[in-house]
Structure 1
Amino acid sequence: MWQDKMNVEGGMTGRNTLQGLLVVSVEQAVAAPYCACKLADAGARVIKVERPEGDFARNYDRAARGESAYFVWLNRGKESIALDLKDSDDLALLRRMISAADVFIQNLAPGAAARLGIGSEALRAADPRLITLDISGYGEEGPYRDMKAYDLLIQAETGLAAITGHPAGPGRVGVSVCDIAAGMYGYMAVLEALLERAQSGGGKAIQVSLFDALADWMTVPLLHQVYGGRAPGRVGLNHPSIAPYGAYAAADGEVVVSIQNEREWLRFCSQVLQRPGLAADPRFADPSARVANRAALDAEIAAVWERLKRAEVVARLEAAQIAYGRVNSLADLAAHSQLRRAPVDTPAGELELVAPPARLVGEAVELGRVPALNAQGAALRREFARGNTQAANTPGEAAQ
């Protein structure tokens, strides 16, 4: 049992942390694959169950040398098997895989897993050690339970779009924040359940929804609305309640500047703007006044910055020890000196991904390969064939 491995003297590190853990994931799109990917990165054996035509994220784009950028990002280190869950033999095979698993993840439509006989309640009744994770759009109950939910829809429903963008209109956050948030919460909850199981021997039934995940991230603006009577307005690339904290245009590009206290405000006026008297202007004398008079403040800053190259603005900010960030393009990010990368093997050949954010000091980053559709299908069918008592003890053609 995997929980017994946790007690071995000296422990396990790096990609071996979850070695011996079997995860079966009936997954598609982003949220569930993100969670399962993190478990695979930590050394778990993850079997990705795809529909016969494959996870539809395989066809989102062809940006990564013919492969989907989404799929390459989310499915490294997994084994792939294509199953038709309407076929009784394939469904029986899935059940045998789950019976050997430590963790079962699914993000089918609400109620679909139960109708197939692989709902959390039935599975955990048969195996109380099993940890199940159900990821959905709005949760397993409530009036929105059966609504279809995708990332942009949840950005709109949770009010995120209403506080994002320019004053002229709402905007979308440019990455799948709802899916990523739900996948992160699922990953954290699975790890907590594994730790508890190591002590108690019992598993957990976990439910995470995209809506709940983003609602948590929306807590601060929600508190402003509920207790302050108004939501933060859309202010483009600016902070809604601090000024100056936003993007200002130099002659050849934008720079975001952040003033967090009055000492920085004085240095900003004297060293960056080279207008020390501005700090005493009654319109800008304290943080609240600067926010209330943001338009006038922005005009004062713009009058100075528009005459300067971005490099000169940055030099002044650094000399004054003022926090800043360049408004970079994706091409700038691709060439960024701080960007860490790691190679990954894919059906299209080797690609470079962003390295996992959590660094394990002294350990190299190694990412498992991205599987082709059904790449391990034949091996998994043999491994989990009816009557095979050795199932799950040794991986088949594992995606290492």
Structure 2
Amino acid sequence: MTRALEGITVVAVEQAVAAPYTSSRLADAGARVIKVERPEGDFARNYDELVQGQSAYFVWLNRGKESICLDLTLEEDRAVLDAMVANADVFIQNLKPGSISKLGFGSADLRKRFPRLITCDISGFGDVGVYSHLKAYDLIVQAETGLCAITGTAHGPARVGVSVCDISAGMTALNSILQALFKRERTGEGASIQVSLFDAIADWMNVPVLQYDYSKYHTARAGVNHPSLAPYGAYRCADGKDVIFSVQNDREWVNFCEKFLQEPDLTRRSGFADNMERLRNRGVLDKTITAHFAQISSDEAMSQLEAAGLAYGRLNQIEDLSTHPHLRRVTVCTPGGDIDVIAPASIVNGERVPTFRPVPARGAHSEALRHEYGNLLQKQLDAASSAIGDAST
């Protein structure tokens, strides 16, 4: 099956999560992705050893790439990278702020040299501003953006359980690169893209910020409850299992009271008429709801909620997701053996179980890539020398 980005070459001087997320999705779409690693490799290779002796992060985010190890402090290795960039469509990097420019591969310079090139710089806080010089990782940005402040319970803040800032930045960069590729098809011009973890997740924080800016409303940490809608959360059933359900509008509130709680008068009771009133009186309302859930099993609760036309779900553990009947997986070859990973969300042309290229070992393609781009570099030098000779005659 032909992939949409076949024929596109991506060079990624990348590490950790955000940039590898972006380039992995480009590789999934058929692009040739050359991953440039330090001689010791991407440090994400050593985050853990829990997947057949390999890092879960690394095998998730690096399928379908070619790996070359370069020491960019050496002129000969910078020449190899330069030859790769000269023949690339996209250049991605997420090194420490300022590092790539010191090495001679800053986006502004590359765009002057290669007008069709799309460059993408991913950083913690961007290229300008008082924090732009700082290194930043996911938890730091979760804290800086206030995400931790609205995550957790009344007892204290918490980290979102996955690297949400990295993933958000990677998704944002991917979207911008795809837009730039589409625009280049029409104009012939590349683009310079900057994405920061801070900006990516700050955008996701618009609702609590807008609520504060215009009404001084403080989003409370609500545990496994929705901070802005009530009732919407997890409730313990008679069998000890938790069920989550949601009331999104007045119609669902009426159905919930009449068909699930069997208390139609509750919809007219003072303090429960609309969502804002229910939020203010959530403690009182929850006593009634909790008492009803405690009398029935989780299967009974879900059956009744479905009959009432309400959305519901289970408060699953990781082992429940691992065996979830709705979960799609794909098999990916890695240096440690085949592994089954969760499939990407998009289903294109009905292909529910796509096939992907392997995860590379550290430097697996170094020799071949050095040969390929060394030859290209030599041809370019020969052509330049020939042009000079022709001009002199």
TM category, shorter = over 0.9
Residue identity opposite 2:193 in structure 1: I
What is the one-letter code of the residue matched to 2:369? L
Write the deviation string for residues 92-115 of structure 1: whole angstroms up to 9, x where unpaired. Answer: 111111111111000011111111
Asked if structure 2 preserves the Cα contact closer than 8 Å seen for 1:258 and 1:324, the reply is yes
Is residue 2:286 matched to residue 1:288?
A: no
The answer for the alignment partner of 2:207 in structure 1 is 220
8 Å Cα contact 1:15/1:42 also seen in 2: no
Asked if structure 2 preserves the Cα contact closer than 8 Å seen for 1:15 and 1:41, the reply is: no
- Structure 2: 5+ residue stretches without partners: 381-393
1:198 pairs with 185, 201, 205, which one? 185
Q: CA deviation at 1:388?
A: 4.5
Give the partner amino acid of 1:171.
Answer: A
Matched ranges for 1:70-149 at <5 A: 70-149=57-136
TM-score, length basis structure 1: 0.92
Return the match for 1:66 from 39, 53, 56.
Answer: 53
The 10-residue stretch of structure 1 (356-365 or 186-195) with the greater mean CA deviation from structure 2: 356-365
CA distance in 1: counterparts of 2:258 and 2:59, whole angstroms: 49
Which of 34, 40, 47 lines up with 1:53 in the alignment? 40
Distance in 2, matches of 1:15 and 1:37, equals: 17
Deviations for 1:103-143, whole angstroms, at most 9, x for unmatched residues? 10000111111111111111111111111000000001111
Instruction: Output the CA distance in 1 between the equivalents of 2:91 and 2:17.
Output: 16
> 1 CA distance for matches of 2:221 and 2:93?
36
Aligned match of 2:383: none
**TM-score for both structures, normalised by structure 2:** 0.93
Structure-2 separation of matches of 1:125 and 1:168? 53
User: Aligned equivalents of 2:23 and 2:279: distance in 1?
Assistant: 43
Q: 1:355 to 1:189 in 2, by over 3 A?
A: same
One-letter amino acid matched to 1:127: F
Aligned residues: 377
Structure 2: how far apart are the matches of 1:86 and 1:191?
A: 31
Match of 1:153 among 135, 140, 145: 140
How much has 1:346 moved relative to structure 2?
0.5
Cα separation, 2, equivalents of 1:166 and 1:361? 42
- After superposition, the Cα gap between the structure-2 partners of 1:15 and 1:301, relative to the gap in structure 1 and judged at 3 Å, is farther
Cα distance in structure 2, aligned partners of 1:370 and 1:19: 18
For 2:339 and 2:214, the matched residues in 1 are separated by 49
Displacement after TM superposition at 1:290 (Å): 1.1
Match of 1:376 among 355, 365, 376: 365
Instruction: Report the Cα distance in structure 2 between the residues aligned to 1:101 and 1:356, rounded to whole angstroms.
Output: 25
Is the partner of 2:139 in helix, strand or coil?
A: helix
Give a deviation string over 1:267-305, Cα, whole Å, max 9, x none: 212221223333332232222221111000011111111
Matched, 1:346 2:334: yes
Gaps of at least 5 residues in structure 1 are: 1-13, 391-400
Judge conservation of contact 2:97–2:134 (CA < 8 Å) in 1: no
Pick from 133, 148, 162: which aligns with 2:149? 162
The 5 Å alignment of 1:169-188 reads: 169-188=156-175
Q: Percent identity?
A: 55
Q: Is the 8 A contact 2:97 2:135 kept in 1?
A: no
**Equivalent-residue separation in structure 2 for 1:380 and 1:313 (angstroms):** 59
User: Counterpart of 2:7 in 1: which secondary structure?
Assistant: coil
Structure 2 SS opposite 1:385: helix
Moved more, 259-268 or 125-134: 259-268
In structure 2, what residue type is equivalent to 1:59?
N
